[in-house]
Amino acid sequence: MISNNNSSCSQQTKFNLVQVKGTWIRQSDQFQLAEGKLSDAKIYENKSEHGVSWTVVSPVVFTYRVIQCKNILDPTNDTLLWGHLGEEELKHTLSNCKPPKRFVVIDENVNKLYGSQVSQYFKARGVVYKILPLPTTEENKCMELVTKILEEVHEFGIDRRSEPIVAIGGGVCLDVVGLAASLYRRRTPYIRVPTTLLSYIDASVGAKTGVNFAGGKNKLGSYVPPVAAFLDCSFFQTLPPRQISNGMAEMLKMALMKHRGLFELMETEGRKLLHTKLQVCKTRPEQEDSATAIIRIAIETMLEELAPNLWEDDLDRLVDFGHLISPELEMRILPALLHGEAVNIDMSFMVYVAVQKGLLTVDEKNRIIQCMLSLELPVWHQDCTLELVQKSLKERLKHSAGSLRMPLPTGLGTAEIFHGMIGDGILCQAHKKWTDELSSSGDK
């Protein structure tokens, strides 16, 4: 192709890439000289009077599994060991005579509850394994923790393609291990086993990894999904009620953004599910119970939003609702608020902004706030000042390509992303009403 640019001529040729007997060969569309394995990658060669340049277009495809299962630590259950493999991969792996190896990072509190079962599982399966318990809290979410994991992995020794690192714990554990795995040998597969509700429906099903840095939440990280996430809700039985509420905030986020049915389910059944810790209680086998439904819809809606935009090339993201103010608030008063609690305070304020902008009715606002309170979530905090709100939105503007990209509810289960900066008048009025009406609810 010939094109003119500023009075200079350039010629562009597109090349396909074909692998023949182990060697990649570039071929133009006009001259297909050999047959072999065709890559999705393309090379575009531009020749001009200034020389030659090449543009490489190489699609990166990740395939990962999100599997709900029961009794994952039962030695007769294959999921933890082989659930990440497809049928053909499993046949190939099982034909190997050497025993499998697994390096496991487990949150130290989870280790006290389940560590012996994890050990018994791998012993019963003849696995060579090492378990590394770590204090994976938000305060410790740093590169030092990542380095500790990498040093231990290096000493233990694993095959960087066939022996995935296993992370068992809450969101911090999954994030930190994911970052370590993405760095070791430039990318080592890893498996996520979430043990909190929040990580079950949020951190475990996406691609993001990260640690806190320079006082900012998740300032260092990567976009590398696990090969699999194994979801077993029986872990919820040992969680305190506050941790169940914490996870329900992320569920409510998805309900408000895109699923009225989920909101209505949480509105009517949420409090009961909180106190039963979302354990399945089926009276009619053919009918989906409310615990199963609420978890399924939350995961499905989350995957719908994450899968087309794993690398966040598009900064317009509905899942950012509740995440404009909460990072600053959460880090400022760490460890006073859990992540989901900070998110809920953010959402609560944004509901008032939506009312002030005429997007929600007062009745819809009242239903949302009442639902939050029924889930025992904080709806206001004294440290979420107007100044903090304004600072957070300015930071958002700075790091979102000059556009605010603020998701706001426009009804129960519908939303829109707004790009312009919200006027100080609206923010001030919304903050005043929010404080006047909800400050008596107290803060955690």
Strand partners, 14: 44
Measuring CA to CA, which residue among 192, 429, 404, 444 is closest to residue 315? 404
Report H helices in 39-132: 79-82, 87-94, 108-124
Measuring CA to CA, which residue among 89, 122, 343, 56 is closest to residue 217? 343
Q: What span, in angstroms and rounded, lies between the C-alpha atoms of 230 and 233?
A: 10
Strand partners, 15: 28, 43
Q: What is the H or E stretch that residue 24 is in?
A: strand 23-28
Sort 388 into a burial class: Cβ within 10 Å, 0-12 / 13-18 / 19+: middle
CA atoms within 13 A on the CB side of 92: 6
Return the residue matching tokens 């992303």: 417
Q: What is the H or E stretch that residue 67 is in?
A: strand 65-68
Q: What span, in angstroms and rounded, lies between the C-alpha atoms of 20 and 353?
A: 60
Measuring CA to CA, which residue among 318, 316, 208, 205 is closest to residue 254? 318
Return the residue matching tokens 């995440």: 323
Give the pair of three-digit tokens for residue 254. 């998805």
> Is residue 359 a contact partner of residue 410, using CB atoms and an 8 Å limit?
yes
The residue ranges of DSSP E strands in 251-377, in sequence order, are: none
> Is residue 205 a contact partner of residue 67, using CB atoms and an 8 Å limit?
no
* 277 residue type, one letter: K
As annotated, the active-site residues are 208
> Is residue 350 a contact partner of residue 379, using CB atoms and an 8 Å limit?
no
Length of the chain equals 444
Return the residue matching tokens 């889930």: 375
Which residues, other chains included, contact 230 with Cβ-Cβ below 8 Å and sequence gap of 6+? 67, 69, 72, 79, 80, 83, 191, 192, 193
Give the pair of three-digit tokens for residue 390. 């304004």
